[in-house]
Amino acid sequence: MIDREAEKAARQALIGRIKAGDSVKVSGGEYRGHYGIVNSVTDKGTFDAALVNLIGTEGDDVTIPLKDLVRKWPGLNPGDTPVGGWQKLLDRQDARYPRPAIGQLVQSKDGSGSGTITHIESNGSIGYLLADTPVERITGNMGWNAPHELKVQTYNDGTIVHWSDYACDVKARAATPILDLPEPYCRIRKVIKTDRDWEAQDEVGNPIGLLLGEAEAYDLSIQLFWEFGL
């Protein structure tokens, strides 16, 4: 019912890459458990790390390996699953910003480059001509699957009006973990399509309850995938 690979790719696109300005939680090392804001990222060498302003601590920003940071999406805590899944959240996020097109002037949010789009690859990367050099390059940082990471010049009858703003991250709502639901719903492990309805079942196939249509069945299937790998 769900596209598991699309779900994984959407999650990676939204929280898999740490960048400047992100809210993060430290998941390991000396500052484990702290929250902070990323000021800058160095990810081009053997030691990939971020300079983080930790909340509630005094002193200078600290350098923390990227592997010890988890991005905190607005409305979610690390480990949460958004209601409807990551693909739906990515669709909502992308809808807040126009998709880039060939010929547009673009700038990337992370400062990696700007220029005119020359082509868009099937894998989502964009080829663009840099503003300060005739050399064309392809970069995964400016992908159509994350248009909220770009801003574009908007036009009116062929006249440039202004640079659009970067889209803000859309706030998500966390789904209640299945194990936190009251009995008998905490035992749901399957979503089955019957002749007339969608049915929630336990691990051995005993019915637990009917679902309110395909939308609820989809959302519950997403929860089962992320919580139990089912």
For the stretch 23-67, pLDDT in tens is 889 998 889 999 988 888 876 666 788 889 998 777 788 999 988
CATH number, span 4-91 = 2.30.30.30
The pLDDT, as a whole number, for residue 120 is: 65
Give 196's contacts (C-beta < 8 A, 6+ positions apart). none
Q: Of all residues in the chain, what percent carry a pLDDT higher than 90?
A: 19
Give 98's contacts (C-beta < 8 A, 6+ positions apart). 147, 152, 164
Q: What is the pTM of this model?
A: 0.69
The pLDDT, as a whole number, for residue 188 is: 93
Distance CA 96, CA 187 (A): 37
Given a cut of 50, is residue 139 above it in pLDDT?
no
Place of tokens 């089962």: 224
Which structure tokens are listed for 15? 């929280």
Distance CA 164, CA 108 (A): 12
CATH architecture of 97-163: Roll (2.30)
Given a cut of 80, is residue 110 above it in pLDDT?
no
User: Which of 121 and 188 is assigned the larger pLDDT?
Assistant: 188
* Ranges for all domains in the chain classified under CATH 2.30.30.30: 4-91
The residues facing 150 across adjacent strands are 108
Rg (CA), the chain: 21
Lowest mean pLDDT among 74-78, 119-123, 131-135: 131-135
Q: Is 55 left (phi over 0), alpha (psi -120 to 50) or beta?
A: beta
